[in-house]
Amino acid sequence: MTVRTTAARLLGASQSRRALSGRLALCAIAIVGLAYSALLSGLPVRQSLIEDSNHAQDVWHPAPGVLAGSQVIRPVTSDHFEALLKQADFDLQAVRAETAAVPRIYVRRLPVDLVEVDDTLRRKKLFFGAMLPLILMANEELRAERAHVEALRDRYPAVTRETGLAQLTDVDRRWLEAVHDRYETEAGDWQALLLRLDEIPVSLIMAQAIQESGWGTSRFARDGNALFGQRTWNPDEEGLVPDLRSEGQTYRVKSFPDLMAAVRSYMRNLNTHDAYQDLRAQRAKLRKQPANAPGRQLASSLTRYSEESAGYVKALRGLIRDNDLSALNRARLRPNHDLVASRGPADL
């Protein structure tokens, strides 16, 4: 497949926990310890095919709190993955109808033979089965991190860009400094940070993953877990050389240790790169005026994501429409009671 990107995509617990009120649960989510997010990608995981990260002692726990309790899946073939989805009770039709939630399954890579699946509907279902839980969990991470930033803002109302973070406790300051650094904002600039630290509509992420990876069948998706065509010019980063790269070009398509790493990298790209300032501004407005189709609306801000410019936006909107991806914006993960028992930064 041809990579349709431009240089704009640079860098690219307790017995009573079930009785906690919704407000307490939300507060618990807000203090999830995401300070270790840099460690979440590429750590070794046992070579079993389906693992319960609650119980297996030698299994990589994908993340503290937010991803605890998810099943780590490394499917071999499409038939095997289909069986695992059935075992996890993943029902895409029921999810669309809002009568079922999405299981917390952490799929590390796509089946090796996905490209050989001739049945279009079956191939799409497998792709949705791999991607939808990851997208929802990645957005859950962003939502939890944003909630904690908002809690710190309310706890330290005198903190501004001019005062810096000296008023914060050591633990709060270290955590917030790491978040500011990750989102490339000045310490104490709450507004700038919250403008970047926000979710991305499921429909938009899914549409771009489909467009850029050909429903997960491209060489970059198969060999490098590269779903979004992000380019890298950094020789220290892993990447794949496109077959049709022009003479004199040195970029490669950035590759990742697993699918979630690709999703996180894509989200950070949209949330930090200067090319997508308009997307972030539109998203902030949609927070005040909820839209029925935020993915379709925000797609208009992605003309710089591809050399096809307006044609790329049209393609994304077509994918969202033809595959009813907007319905997935309402998809929800199954409850994770580990969330309300998770330790936050103040407890570390």
- Let me know the angle formed at the C-alpha of 249 by 247 and 253, rounded to the nearest 5 degrees: 120
Question: In this model, does residue 61 exceed pLDDT 50?
Answer: no
Identify the DSSP state of 189: -
Helices (H) and strands (E) in the chain, counts: 12, 6
Q: Indicate the range of 57-66, 148-157, 325-334 predicted with least confidence.
A: 57-66
Beta bridge partners of 106: 72
Burial class of 185 by CB neighbour count within 10 A (0 to 12, 13 to 18, 19+): buried
| Cα–Cα distance for residue pair 315/217, rounded to 1 Å | 18
- 198 C-beta neighbours (distance < 10 Å), count: 20
pLDDT band at 71 (very low <50, low <70, confident <90, very high): confident
Residue 139 confidence (pLDDT): 96
pLDDT band at 8 (very low <50, low <70, confident <90, very high): very low
Question: In this model, does residue 173 exceed pLDDT 50?
Answer: yes
Kindly report the pTM of this predicted structure.
0.79
Residue 275 confidence (pLDDT): 97
